[in-house]
Structures are given as structure tokens and as C-alpha cells.
Amino acid sequence: MKFQQNVDLQSLNTMAVPSVARYFFIAQTLEDIRLALAFASKEKLSVFVLGGGSNSLLPEKLDGLVIQPLLKGVECIENSAESSWVRAGAGENWHDFVMHCLSAQYYGLENLAYIPGLVGAAPIQNIGAYGVELKDVFHSLEAMDRATGEMQTFNFSDCEFAYRESVFKNRLKDRMIIASVTFRLQRQAACNLSYPALASALEREADGKNPEKVAEAVIKLRQRKLPDPEYIPNAGSFFKNPVITEAKASALKLAHPKAVIFDVDGSHKKVAAGWLIDAAGWKGREAFQVRVHDQQALVLTNPNRVSRHHILTLADAIRKDIEQRFGITLEREPGLFSE
């Protein structure tokens, strides 16, 4: 096995923050991961797992071993009259996987098209977009215990999914390495148009609405609103949409009639964090060498490729301003390595 030393990770995270790993290793098999973990244990190194780097803020130095699990493979493992169970390796590109399933007529992922990152990271964040969350199509996953090297199967209830949350971000944080994910997808086309912007984008489709059209519309919406990390470094949505009580939402709507608010349940509402940031005047502003995107206020961009300290300083300034103006606390989406 070849462990690279003093590896520059700037090109391996979509926020393009400068970061150097003391050791770096690409794992292509389960045995690779076990050998890497054994090396880290022998050398008494901290272990960090880096996927596609699309939802992570790296420090300037990672004094340990960074493992990038690039386990590949996509296969349909079971079919019924209504469903297909499709398993994908953790190292598969998420968008490519979505489009593969669509072309194979496995439906349910189309609303999640064009999200950057790898399959293995998707359950950790319980990624979601345009009315669909990963948990809606999730069946199970296989993960390796970092301490023992043993494989474990996690079913839906084991993952403790919530809005942009899972057991892997909380109780089992830094304890498991996801190897593969299995999805239960539909064999009959059915479009989820519960998200208003998506429904609006498709309302003029004369030849009908189908999953292919949904994916096409989602891609166009994301391309229009979100910058391409290849040209403008970013980590996508930087803040979660805050969930507040119905009473607080009513008060907010009374004071700000244009506030963008969604139903959650009978007693809670979800406020669009992008609207809050825009209403506070941050959209398009630059501070601490970091910029709020001028098309989507929910996105912080790093055009100067500065360290995460600058990014977090701007994020903290925005968070404090929103709390002071609206009495609502924003939570960051990207994770912090070594936090």
C-alpha cells in the first residue's frame, strides 16, 4: 500500500479551502480500508474520511490519515412488480448514479439530480432537494466499524434520519465508514411535484410530466441558482432551513408578508434560510474575502480560495444578524473536519 504524504487537498474539496493532509490514501476495496485503519492504529494517527468534499470545511492542516473510500459498482439486487432494489458503492458519483437509475427506469431519485458528492456521503447528510429526501428512497447500507474493521448493516430505523441529519452525524460520528448504499426505487414512473418552484418549472410541459422531465427541470433550476464549484468554489447550501413553531411563523409572516415558509407538521413550519439572508441584505455581499452568492443567498462562495476561518467568520456574522433581526438561529450544513 502506498500512503501519500503532505498531500494538498485544495482540489479535493468544493469550497477550495487550502488544506494539507499528513497522510492520504485512496481505498478501492474493503480490504484497503482495513489496511489503512491498521496503519493509522500502528502509527497512532487520527483518521479522517473524505468523500467528494462537497459538504466539508477542512482545516489548513490535517495531522493524521485521510482516507478517501472510492468503492465502485452499481447493481440491481432484487426486483418486484413495483420496486427495484439498487445497490451503489460509496465511491460512485451521486449525480451519475441518479442518471444511471433514470436511464434504467428505476424511479424516485430524479428530484435529487445534480447534487455534488459521492453516494457514501448522501445518507450521512440525508441529502434533500425539491420535495424529496434520501430517506424517502433509502433501504439499507453497509458500513465498516473503524475500531474493529467489521461490517454492519444499517436499516432505515438504524440510521435515525431527520432533516439533514442521521446517526452518522451524531451518535456514530467518526465511528463508521460507509461502503455501499441500497435504494428501493419504483418501476412505475411517478413524479413528485410537491415543491412549488419545480411544479412551476414543469407546468408548461405540453407533452406531459415524467421523471426524465423532472430531472431535466431540476438540473436547470440548480444550474441557474447555484454556482459551479469548478469555477466558483462553494459547498452548496451553507445553512439549514430553520424549523420554527407555527406561532412564530405566523408572527414572522405578519411582519414580513413575503417570507417564504413551508409546512412541516401541525405545529411547526420551515423558513427558507435563503429568504432570511436575502431579507437581511446579505445577498451578493462580500466580507472577510468570502462572498454570498448573488443568485442564491443560501450559498457562500470562496472566490479567493481562503481558509475556512474566513468562511466561518462570515457565516457567524450572518448567523448573528439573522438572530438579532428575526429571532431565528441558523445552523450550518457543512461539517468541520477535526471538530
For residue 294 the three cell numbers come to 448573488
Contacts 24+ apart (CB under 8 A), 336-339: 336/56, 336/57, 336/59, 336/308, 337/48, 337/50, 337/56, 337/57, 337/58, 337/59, 337/62, 338/46, 338/48, 338/59, 338/62
Which residues are marked as active site?
A: 164, 237, 333
Output the 3-class SS for 57-69: ECCCEEEEEEEEE
- Residues written for the chain: 339
The span from the CA of 115 to the CA of 95, in Å, is 6
Contacts 24+ apart (CB under 8 A), 284-290: 287/314, 287/317, 288/313, 288/314, 288/317, 290/314
User: Which amino acid type is present at position 55?
Assistant: N
Output the 3-class SS for 90-154: CCCEHHHHHHHHHHCCCECCHHHCCCCCEHHHHHHHCCEECCEEHHHCEEEEEEEECCCCCEEEE
User: Which amino acid type is present at position 217?
Assistant: A
Strand order in the sheet with 234-237: 234-237, 299-301, 290-292, 286-287
